[in-house]
Structure 1
Amino acid sequence: MRIGTVLGLSLLVASVVGASGALAADSKRQSPIASPSNAQPSLLSEFRIGFSAQDPWGPEGKDGSANLTGEILFAKPFTASDLFTSYFIPRPHIGGSANFDGRTSFAYAGLTWTFDLTPNLFVEGSLGGAIHNGDKNAFNASPHHQSLGCSPLFRESGSVGVRLSANWSVMATIEHLSNAGACAENRGLTNVGARVGYTF
């Protein structure tokens, strides 16, 4: 699947979700990082699904390759008395990226910090680890695989998102996996894509 197809699918998903959000007469849009004081506690915070282009600047993406991505964010382990402090309390997450062309797929877990720029616009960063099924050694790596050195790896990601309603959001995400020099091979894998999120 080509990168153009991935971007087209992402825009289609965003348009459909945007239309449904516009029909919902919800003038009070609330960030998932702050819960009302009278809300019942919940284990789950948000579910996300989307597509990403596989390593577009590296060997795994030079012919165009795409992934289906999914992520679950859990509620914060504790709450703060003020909104500013609550920004620094992360949400735990688990997720995965499945490649359509037999290239590197991976599962990951870590922590996510979300910061509101406006009531509808937010940025976030995450940090954690990932396990993968890709090549680890440069000597036996296939032409369309990045030699990643070892497993597990470190995973970092950054997103910019827009809340369409109290429940729905869309975001652009870039993620990077690397061993940070912990293995003989210090190579990384970078994916870029778009996701739709549903807040519980």
Structure 2
Amino acid sequence: MTRLMMAAAAAALLAGTAQAEDRGMEFRFGVTAHDLADHVEDGPNLTAEILFGSPDFLSAIWSPRPYVYGSFNTNGLTNFGSAGLAWNIPLTERLNFEIKEGLSYNDGVVDIDQNAPASDPNRIRLATTRALMGSHILFHTTLGLDYDINERWAVGAYYEHISHGQILASGRNQALDNAGVRLSYRFGR
């Protein structure tokens, strides 16, 4: 929770210089390189996201937009979904920086069986082919840069990290780092 609050505060400070802008509902589709830090899991992820217009009650924290996000590994490894808040910070008329903070649920491997013998084939396979997440519930942090092609379409690049940060769980925390590109379509502005 402390990490989430610190990130939200940083986003708020950065967003404080930018005027809040309601960008309406937005759909995004993308592809990410999966597990960049450890390279234990392989294969690209396909992503889909819905961002909603910012409700009035969030204006006190610079009008972030609620989001729902899904990331699906093409090799059948760790998939995850998340929900949270996205702050948009206009850099120029067409270029926007985005910070997202949320919680995610993943279907990955939490940990290997510590009671299994070191020579256990299943333990060896999991330790060498899967990111050991430490928890199914993790923080989801994203930094993105988007370019508005016009009022409806945008393209962007982003980096995301899911981890429990020793806050939502303790012990194992290999986490996942993904980076990718996305295409956005906005409904009404």
Question: Does the TM-score normalized on the shorter chain lie above 0.5?
Answer: yes
Q: Which of 22, 38, 46 does residue 68 from structure 1 map onto? A: 46
Which ranges in structure 2 are unaligned for 5 or more consecutive residues?
1-18, 114-122
TM-score scaled to structure 2, two decimals? Answer: 0.76
Aligned to 1:38: none
- Between the aligned residues of both structures, percent identity stands at 32
Cα root mean square deviation, aligned: 2.3
SS in 2 for 1:131: strand
- Mapped contact 1:55–1:190 kept (Cα < 8 A): yes
Contact 2:22 2:54 in 1 (8 A): no
Q: Which moved more, 1:44-53 or 1:167-176?
A: 44-53
Provide the rounded CA distance (Å) in 2 between the counterparts of 1:65 and 1:119.
35
Please say if 1:135 is aligned against 2:109: yes
Name the SS of the counterpart of 2:56 in structure 1: coil
Please state if 1:158 is matched with 2:132: no
In the alignment, the residues of structure 2 paired with residue 167 and residue 86 of structure 1 have an alpha-carbon distance, to the nearest angstrom, of 27
In structure 1, C-alpha distance between the alignment counterparts of 2:158 and 2:165, rounded to whole Å: 21
Q: Summarize the Cα distance change of 1:77–1:191 in structure 2 as closer, same or farther, 3 Å threshold.
A: same
- CA distance in 2 between partners of 1:179 and 1:77 (Å): 28
Q: Deviations over 1:119-156 (max 9, x none)?
A: 10010000001111111004443522100001111110
1:191 and 2:178 matched? yes
Aligned length: 156
Task: Kindly indicate whether the alpha-carbon contact (under 8 Å) linking 1:109 and 1:128 is maintained by their aligned counterparts in 2.
Answer: yes
Instruction: Give the whole-Å Cα distance in 2 for the aligned partners of 1:129 and 1:183.
Output: 16
Q: Does 1:97 align with 2:71?
A: yes
- One-letter amino acid matched to 2:142: S
Map of 1:78 onto structure 2: 56
Whole-angstrom distance in 2 between the partners of 1:162 and 1:126: 17
1:1-200 to 2 correspondences below 5 Å: 33-34=21-22, 45-61=25-41, 64-78=42-56, 88-139=62-113, 140=123, 141-181=126-166, 182-200=169-187
Q: Aligned partner of 1:178: which letter? A: S
Which structure 1 residue ranges, 5 or more long, are not aligned? Answer: 1-30, 36-43
Query: What residue identity is the alignment partner of 2:186?
Result: T
* Separation (CA, whole Å) in 1 of partners of 2:88 and 2:21: 7
**Change in CA separation of 1:195 and 1:145 when aligned onto 2, cut-off 3 Å:** same
Provide, for residues 131-187 of structure 1, a one-character-per-residue CA deviation record: whole Å limited to 9, x for no partner.
111110044435221000011111100001100000000010100000111222122
Q: Is the Cα–Cα contact under 8 Å of residues 87 and 113 in structure 1 kept in the other structure?
A: no
